[in-house]
A and B are shown apart, each in its own frame.
Chain A
Amino acid sequence: MSYIPSTPEERLEMLGATGAQSMEDLFSAVPDHLRFKGLLDLPPAASEFEVISALKEMAGRNKVYQTWFRGAGSYRHYIPSVVRHLASRAEFVTAYTPYQAEISQGILQSIFEYQTLICELTGMDVSNAGVYDGAHAAAEACAMFADKNRPKVLAASTVKPMTAEVLRTYCRVAGRELEFFGAEDGKASSALLEQMLDTSVCCVYAEQPNFYGLVEDYGELTRAAHAAGAKMVIGSYPIALAVLKTPAEYGADAAVGEAQPLGMPPAFGGPYLGYMAVKAADARKLPGRIAGATVDAAGRTAYVLTLQAREQHIRREKASSNICSNQALCALTATVYCAAAGPGGLKEIAMRCVSLARYAARRISAVSGFSMMFEGFFFNEFVTRCPVDPAKLETKLAENDMLCGLPVQTEKGAGILWCLTERNTKDEIDRLVRLLGEVSA
């Protein structure tokens, strides 16, 4: 089955209308020696029932844990039913990038609303329509501020390893330098940053909260960066921004991050959504699509893709980025999620994250050998030491349908990175603590 409507007879008639003698004839431009002879080594066609059955079996070979204590860049929050329903509307799902504005007002307006949402969350002036994921957003932001005179990026050693790896790739390939500045007690150190800042540095990148869940002193980091003429880029957990000081309030020049927590399932890593927002003065440096409001000839409000002089299809090798397809449906999902939660709902989710994480940290760290690795305020993740082989702990918890926190290496040694969201309960934490007690005994 190839989803082709025309019958064999119709195909023959259509072929006749083209003037070709045969299907082979249509491919006469393909030289014979390059033709693939015979059939590809793929399985035979399967019925819909067989396909979904096979994929259900495949999905069944994954373990879906009842209880999660793992985050580290991918978070399980509750997704209201309305989010999936609206983001599944076929008119959104099966459309291309909205090049033809008049027939795409709904999608363009949804991008405009998404941009508004990101500006509200981050406090910044201008958002683009989104990029591939949070790590990619960080890499694009650093690229945005780099130039010949300032080719160096400084990133905190406390950023997520995934972000660090993607930053490394993008910087190395583009010939930009990337160095990491150190931390004290799990938090990026502005003193260590200052020692590395000079006039070759284009920007400084740090995450809010950082990989260990800790909130750093972004005001100090920003002051240090600005004093050296460098820009400040902060990567934030978007749900934390319902309550925590915004990148704009810290004085950052760009706010980026992973928007997966806003309505997207963990799904083995994707699709997710990177958000990017800047001050008004830097709007034309942003990569990617941007929707803007204007009017039509009758004076009606109309939305369009705008500031396209930055983009690859106009500027080719002089474009600010190569981005074409982004993660539009994920941006719509994030917008619907935030509108469903509302300011009260998002704040409630954030406060539950904070409160459950604090309760879990108190209880877990009271178990012998599981003391807190770092001091300081954390959002919904924290690191404890681990007195046993982490693999054994993972297995023990898995037997109880729990996904253990992530085993991590820190500058103070190995530990477990625990994560709590509003999906967790006090009862789950109490059960976890009992199991930890059994393994540490």
Chain B
Amino acid sequence: MKGTIFEKSRPGRSGFTLPAFDCEYERIPEQLLRGGPPLLPEVAEVDLVRHYTALSRESFGVDCGFYPLGSCTMKYNPKIGEDAAALSGFTDIHPLQPEDSAQGCLEALGTLGGYLCEITGMDAISLQPAAGAHGEFTGLSMIKAYLGATGHEEKKKVLVPDSAHGTNPASAVMAGFTVVSIPSAADGTVDLDALRGALGEDTAALMLTNPNTLGLFEKNIAAVAGMVHEVGGLLYYDGANLNAVMGITRPGDMGFDVMHLNLHKTFATPHGGGGPGSGPVACKSFLAPYLPGPVVDRTTQGFCLRQPKHSVGRVKAFNGNFLVCVRALAYLMTLGAAGVREAAENAVLNANYLLAKLRGTYDAPYGGRCMHEFVLSLEQLKKSTGIGATDIAKGLIDLGMHPPTVHFPLIVREAMMIEPTETESRETLDAAAEAMLRLYETARTDPGALRAAPSGSPVGRPDEAAAARNPVLRG
């Protein structure tokens, strides 16, 4: 891409029109005026369109091809969601309209909230958080408020497995807790002895993703929940991997007390190149009074907003990322009860199918069976050829697919984390497997070619060290 939109600016160009103005223009007091105008681009509409169309063509979404980015659940985003979110009866509603004039919005939120509680086995929900990490912060804030209200200020430690998403420990610190990292056992699940050793009177909570980031179901979850609850700690469920178990098992039934969901992962709302997402927080009834308010209630008079009794307070202005919620609602209405389970089953089937094709060649350190995603280690390949996870990822770009997540989870060396999702066909999975096997061969025969990859993209590997050393952060 040559040049930013600012560099394409030419004085006097514009594509902007407004109606004739029939009011008097007023003056702003001199001392309140800015020194000079902001240097915004001056471009004609056609140039604006071509610039951003060109940028879009140097971007890659699920609509462009296979996107097996582990832990991100890049499933197809149904177009009907976009239509629903564009309805003027949703877009042109002020968030502070009188409740009787916004019944449709409240109904959408209330209905979605009910469905999500059913799927998770939880009793109450807030749709306010804007993203998964925002949900984590919210859920941990609720735990803190609950522990404070029940006289347990001494509980200051949050236990986080070493395989957890980086947001988990970061959120715990933001909520004022101390983080204790729990090592994983050889089989990739939580090490029960290590957990036992870390649990104590000062334990506030354990944060867990199930299935975990290795794509393994924490089969001892009932025992884990028992151990945490026994010391008066709470169990937090990171919903990033919920797609594996929708309709199969529910966090609420596993013993979790509070959780977030990622509507932009599990519930098929598009990720927008990094958001907006939505990270609702659901909980058991004893935590419901601590939810951020307001929450949606249904009464005989219709839907209304209500402030939970001991609410942790707002975590966001207004009512959450409403239009994202509308898309998720459209998705769940389309799938229905059977479709939700079918999605989870096929997500797990697709992952196992791809794993079966790769595990004879690539090292699958945690065995031949997985849930919705799996992790390969390229450590041996790296040792023998110098080609690691990053190089294979860059090679995949040249073969027309988005690379998997690399170098995560941190407990696996040269990790490559693959999540195909349920919305990919067998041909797509076959082609991806073929590409990966081909690159494995290339690593052995022509490693130089992979170190130089990608060669077909608009740019080659950027010099990231230089970017951080001499930051150029604006045009």
Q: Report whether A52 and B80 are in contact in the complex, using a CB–CB cutoff of 8 Å.
A: yes
Contacts of B352 in A (CB 8 A): 18, 20, 26
Return the contact of A175 from the options B176, B324, B339, B403 (Cβ within 8 A): B176
Q: Which of A35, A170, A322 contacts B133 (CB 8 A)?
A: A322
Q: Of A68-76, A191-199, A224-232, which binds chain B?
A: A68-76
Does A177 reach chain B (CB closer than 8 Å)?
A: no
Asked whether B380 is an interface residue with its Cβ less than 8 Å from the other chain, the reply is no
Tell me how far the C-beta of B280 lies from the nearest C-beta in chain A, rounded to whole angstroms.
Answer: 13
In the bound assembly, the distance between CA atoms of A427 and B332 in angstroms comes to 44
B426 touches A328 (CB 8 A): no
Kindly state the separation between the CA atoms of A163 and B320 in the bound complex, as whole angstroms. Answer: 14
The verdict on A135 contacting B312 (CB below 8 Å), with A89-B53, A169-B141 known, is no
Give the residue name and chain of the A residue nearest to B475 (CB).
A116
Q: Is B285 an interface residue (CB 8 A)?
A: no
A357 to B87, CA, bound (A): 29
Once bound together, how far apart are the Cα atoms of A170 and B169, in whole Å? Answer: 17
**Cβ distance A222 to chain B, nearest Cβ, rounded Å:** 15
Residue A367 interfacial (CB < 8 Å): no
In the assembly, what is the distance between CA of A173 and CA of B142, in Å?
Answer: 9
Most buried by A among B169, B273, B338, B402: B273
Q: Write out the residue numbers on chain A whose beta carbons fall within 8 Å of the beta carbon of B376.
A: none
> With a CB–CB cut-off of 8 A, which chain A residues contact B37?
242, 343, 347
Rounded to whole Å, the gap between the CB of A212 and the closest CB of chain B is: 15
Tell me if A34 and B249 are in contact (CB < 8 A): yes
Flag if B461 contacts A296 (CB, 8 Å).
Answer: yes
What are the interface flags for A232-272 relative to B under an 8 Å C-beta threshold, 1 for contact and 0 otherwise? 00000000011111100100000000100000011111111
Question: Could you tell me which residues of chain A, from 108 to 164, have a CB within 8 Å of some CB in chain B?
Answer: 109-113, 115-117, 119-121, 123, 125-127, 129, 132-136, 143, 160, 162-163
Judge whether A102 and B459 touch: CB under 8 Å: yes
A88 CB → nearest B CB, Å: 7
Partner of A51, one of B21, B56, B334: B334
CA distance A123 to B40 in the complex (A): 12
Interface residues of A in 297-326 (CB under 8 A from B): 297-298, 300-304, 306-309, 311-319, 321-326
Cross-interface CB contact of A269 among B29, B119, B320, cutoff 8 Å: B320
Q: Is the CB of B466 within 8 A of A294?
A: yes
How distant is B298 from chain A, measured CB to nearest CB, in Å?
13
Closest to A406 in B: B96
Cα(A403)–Cα(B102), bound, Å: 12
Chain A: minimal CB distance from B418 (Å): 14
CB pair A40 B340 closer than 8 Å: yes
Chain B neighbourhood of A377, CB < 8 A: 28-29, 32
> With A92-B59, A173-B175 as given contacts, are A2 and B346 in contact (CB-CB < 8 Å)?
yes
Q: What 0/1 pattern do residues 30 to 46 of A give for CB contact below 8 A with B? A: 11011110011111111
Give bound CA distance, A106 to B61, whole Å: 11
Are B349 and A126 in touch, CB under 8 angstroms? no
Are the C-beta atoms of B34 and A61 separated by less than 8 Å?
no
Find residues 428-475 in chain B having any chain A CB closer than 8 Å to their own CB: 454, 457-464, 466-468, 471-475
Q: Roughly how many angstroms separate A296 CA and B463 CA in the complex, as a whole number?
A: 6
CA distance A348 to B16 in the complex (A): 10
| B151: Cβ under 8 A from any A Cβ | no
Cβ distance B212 to chain A, nearest Cβ, rounded Å:
11
> How long is the Cα–Cα vector from A159 to B405 in the complex, in angstroms?
42
Q: Indicate if B362 sits at the interface (CB-CB under 8 A).
A: no
A243 touches B28 (CB 8 A): yes
Q: Is the interface of B mostly helix, strand, loop or mixed?
A: loop
Report the nearest A residue to B46, measured CB to CB. A82
A315: chain B residues at CB < 8 Å are 166, 170
B110: shortest Cβ distance to chain A, in Å? 11
Contact call A103/B402, Cβ cutoff below 8 A: yes
A431 at the interface (CB under 8 A from B): no
Q: Which residues of A contact B45 (CB under 8 A)?
A: 82, 340
Chain A residues with CB under 8 Å of B318's CB are 73-74, 133, 162, 268-270, 272
Q: In whole angstroms, how far apart are the Cα atoms of A26 and B442 in the complex?
A: 32
B369 at the interface (CB under 8 A from A): yes
User: Known: A6-B426, A317-B172, A342-B42. Contact between A403 and B94, CB under 8 A?
Assistant: yes
CB pair A40–B118 under 8 Å, yes or no, is: yes
- B95: chain A residues at CB < 8 Å are 73-74, 266-270
Digit string of B216-247 for contact with A (CB within 8 Å is 1, else 0)?
11010110000000000000000000000101
What are the residues of chain B within 8 A of A36 when measuring CB–CB? 121, 247-250, 253
A271/B276 in contact, CB under 8 A = yes
Question: Given contacts A241-B38, A266-B93, is CB(A41)–CB(B337) below 8 Å?
Answer: yes
Is B16 a contact partner of A342 (Cβ separation < 8 A)?
A: yes
Number of interface residues of B (CB under 8 A): 195
Decide: A82 and B15 in contact? CB cutoff 8 A: yes
Partner of B273, one of A85, A95, A116, A344: A95
Residue-wise, chain B 303-333 has the 8 Å CB interface mask toward A (1 for contact) of 0000000001111111111111010011011
Q: Does A215 contact B (CB under 8 A)?
A: yes
User: With contacts A103-B60, A169-B292, A317-B173 known, is A40 near B119, CB below 8 A?
Assistant: yes
Inter-chain contact A329/B346, CB cutoff 8 Å:
no
Nearest B residue (CB) for A354: B26
A91 in contact (CB, < 8 A): yes
B43 lies within 8 A of chain A by Cβ: yes
B24 touches A93 (CB 8 A): no
Q: Which of A180-188, A283-291, A381-389 contacts B (4 or more CB under 8 A)?
A: A283-291
Contacts of A316 in B (CB 8 A): 166, 169-170, 179
| Least Cβ–Cβ distance between A160 and chain B, in angstroms | 8
| Interface residue B147 (Cβ < 8 Å from any Cβ of A) | no
B136:A322 contact, CB within 8 angstroms: yes
- Are A270 and B321 in touch, CB under 8 angstroms? yes
Contact partners of A348 in chain B: CB under 8 A: 18
Give the nearest-CB partner of A131 in chain B: B130
Check: A281 CB closer than 8 A to any chain B CB. Answer: no
In Å, the complex CA distance between A102 and B48 comes to 23
* Most A Cβ at <10 Å: residue of B15, B92, B136: B92
Complex contact B1–A106 (CB within 8 A): yes
Q: Which of A19, A136, A319 contacts B316 (CB 8 A)?
A: A136
A64 touches B459 (CB 8 A): no
Does A441 interact with chain B (Cβ within 8 Å)? no
Pair A109/B4 contact, Cβ less than 8 Å: yes
Residues of A within 8 A of B97 (CB): 62-63, 65, 70, 268, 403
Residue of A70, A133, A267, A332 with most chain B CB atoms under a 10 A cut-off:
A267
Residues of A within 8 A of B247 (CB): 36, 39-40
- CA distance in complex: A112, B475 (Å): 7
A48 on the B face (CB < 8 A): yes
The distance in angstroms between the C-alpha atoms of A287 and B317, with both chains bound, is 19
Q: Which B residues touch A134, using CB under 8 A?
A: 317
Q: Among A31, A132, A352, which residue has its beta carbon within 8 angstroms of that of B130?
A: A132
B423 sits at the interface (CB 8 A): yes
Contact between B89 and A62, CB atoms less than 8 A apart = yes
Taking a contact as CB atoms closer than 8 A, the residue among A96, A110, A166, A336 that contacts B315 in the complex is A166
Chain B positions within 8 Å of A169 at CB level: 141, 292, 312-315
Q: A14-B426, A34-B222, A110-B52 are in contact. List 6 more A-B contacts (CB 8 A).
A: A73-B95, A95-B60, A170-B315, A270-B130, A300-B460, A339-B43
- Which 8 pairs between the two chains have the least Cβ-Cβ distance? A59-B89, A269-B318, A329-B272, A94-B61, A45-B336, A328-B274, A269-B95, A271-B276
Q: Can you list 10 A-B pairs with a CB-CB distance of less than 8 A?
A: A19-B368, A44-B338, A59-B88, A59-B90, A91-B60, A94-B61, A269-B95, A300-B460, A322-B170, A324-B133
